[in-house]
Amino acid sequence: MKILVTGFAPFGGEDINPSWEAVKCLPDEIDGVEICRMEIPTEFGTSGDVVLDFVRREKPCAVIPVGEAGGRKHITPERVAINVDDARIPDNSGQQPVDRPIVEGAREAYFSTLPVRKMIAAIEDAGVPAQISNSAGTYVCNHVMYRLLHEANTAKPPFITGFIHVPYCEEQVTGKNEPALPMKDICRGLEAAVRVVIKEIME
């Protein structure tokens, strides 16, 4: 059995993206389940394409994409993805869609199929602040979450998926008045959430 956990490339003028830094910290295996890791481009289109290529080829039991949500204080499992790309800033390839459906004619929204409440409890038990989020935004993170949930809706074999946003890490906010967590806390919180997902797929 395997699962896929992805992190994003830095964007918006940052040098690092704590989502990929945290994904890199994960062990290779948890409870006999292989943890596959992938850094994906912060670009509309290609981000979803590379993840779906992997899913169709490798058939993981779960996919956990992780992204940065600057300004948040908690690790936030996302509840819902919506069918719209609407970018406040251009992505890393210069695209800046406005009010564009992600999948023309498909559902307006999908709920996460990850065990969000259990993930929050596990992150908190690891001593890291966690909270549910009711909006993954309308930028590249929501794009990837929506495309995965749309695929999962018909995929055989089935897989569970959703999204986790993490705050800035402390290195990113020196001299700025922005909330952040130490990188080691983001890593510990993410690992706790991944362990819960693995427990869920083993049941």
Please confirm, yes or no, whether 61 is among the known catalytic residues: no
8 binds ligand PCA (CB under 6 A): yes
137 binds ligand PCA (CB under 6 A): yes
Helix (H, G, I), strand (E, B) or coil at 126: coil
* Number of neighbouring beta carbons within 10 Å of residue 125: 12
Please confirm, yes or no, whether 141 is among the known catalytic residues: yes
Q: Which of residues 67-106 bind ligand PCA (CB under 6 A)?
A: 67-69
139 binds ligand PCA (CB under 6 A): yes
Stretch that binds ligand PCA, among 30-38, 50-58, 136-144, 192-200 (CB under 6 A): 136-144
Residue 143, strand partner residues: none
168 binds ligand PCA (CB under 6 A): no
25-to-73, 107, 184 alpha-carbon distances in Å: 20, 35, 9
- Pick the closer one to ligand PCA by CB: 62 or 69: 69
159 binds ligand PCA (CB under 6 A): no
Looking at 74, 143, 150, 165, which residue is catalytic? 165
Q: How many residues appear in the chain? A: 203
14-to-40, 65, 100, 180, 186 alpha-carbon distances in Å: 15, 19, 26, 14, 17
Please confirm, yes or no, whether 169 is among the known catalytic residues: no
Q: Which of residues 52-71 bind ligand PCA (CB under 6 A)?
A: 67-69
Among 61, 141, 186, 194, binds ligand PCA (CB under 6 A): 141
163 binds ligand PCA (CB under 6 A): no
Contact 192, 52 (CB under 8 A): no
Angle at 178 between CA 176 and CA 182, to 5 degrees: 100
Nearest C-alpha neighbor of 161 from the set 111, 202, 100: 111
Stretch that binds ligand PCA, among 11-19, 49-57, 106-114, 182-190 (CB under 6 A): 11-19
42 binds ligand PCA (CB under 6 A): yes
Contacts of 159 (CB under 8 A, 6+ apart): 55, 59, 60, 61, 62, 63, 152
Looking at 78, 151, 169, 187, which residue is catalytic? 78
11 binds ligand PCA (CB under 6 A): yes
Which residues would be at the binding site for ligand PCA (CB under 6 A)? 8, 11, 17, 19, 42, 67-69, 137, 139-141
Query: Which residues are identified as catalytic?
Result: 78, 141, 165
